[in-house]
């Protein structure tokens, strides 16, 4: 049984879901891949949902809420789980390209290559928006390509973390990250 609760964010209403003491979903209402069966989720608070709401509130205030989340249990196959684990490693205020993640996935899997398109499809199916920060994944040229929660939300989330999307699109992800490292 999934438990769920609504959460208001500066970017619109969100739906949070959990099962068995673990967070299973954080979606912007109306985004691509919003769960078709969400109406069947039991609307009831739980410690997992309360903790997640507090984490999101801190995040949306522009603060780094740190790793104080409940256990995460997104549903997806092995490849998606791998990609989501790589996305979770992208630091706040930094970005990675789909190609960067494809190279890292290939290395993890012991392959010579993994398709950036396959990585993009896995990123797009991330059921834990914001928490697994898929908004930090960009095109190799720094373009804000694809985001299930809409590109204006992706832009807003990056700006909230101190990333200038205009500069990112001009200089690309590697140069932006280098600048952030030097400034730190």
HSE of 58, CA atoms in CB hemisphere, 13 A: 13
- The active-site residue, picked from 96, 123, 128, 134, is 134
Identify the bridge partners of residue 16 per DSSP, sorted by sequence position.
5, 26
Give SS3 for 12: strand
134 classed as catalytic: yes
Paired tokens of 66: 């740190």
Torsion angle of the four alpha carbons 53, 31, 92, 103, in this order, in degrees rounded to the nearest 10: 140
Tokens 């984490």 locate to 55
Tokens 């190279």 locate to 103
Residue 85 to residue 131: CA distance in whole angstroms:
11
Paired tokens of 147: 């985001």
For the chain, give the longest Cα–Cα distance: 49
Relative orientation angle of helices 116-124 and 78-88, to the nearest 10 degrees = 80
Q: Annotated active-site positions, please?
A: 134
């Amino acid at each position: 049984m999934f438990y769920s609760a609504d959460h208001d964010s500066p970017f619109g209403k969100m739906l949070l879901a959990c099962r068995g003491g673990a967070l299973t979903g954080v979606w912007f209402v109306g985004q691509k891949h919003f769960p078709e069966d969400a109406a069947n989720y039991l609307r009831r608070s739980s410690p997992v949902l309360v903790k997640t709401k507090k984490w999101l509130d801190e995040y949306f205030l522009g603060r780094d809420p740190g790793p104080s989340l409940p256990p995460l249990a997104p549903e997806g196959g092995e490849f998606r789980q791998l990609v989501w684990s790589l996305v979770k490693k992208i630091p706040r205020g930094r970005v990675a390209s789909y190609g960067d993640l494809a190279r890292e996935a290939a290395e993890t899997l012991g392959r010579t290559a993994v398709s950036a398109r396959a990585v993009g499809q896995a990123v797009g199916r991330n059921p834990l928006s914001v928490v697994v920060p898929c908004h930090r994944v960009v095109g190799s040229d720094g373009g804000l390509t694809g985001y299930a929660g809409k590109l204006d939300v992706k832009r807003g989330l990056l700006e909230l973390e101190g990333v200038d999307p205009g500069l990112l699109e001009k200089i690309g992800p590697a140069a932006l990250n280098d600048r952030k490292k030097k400034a730190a």
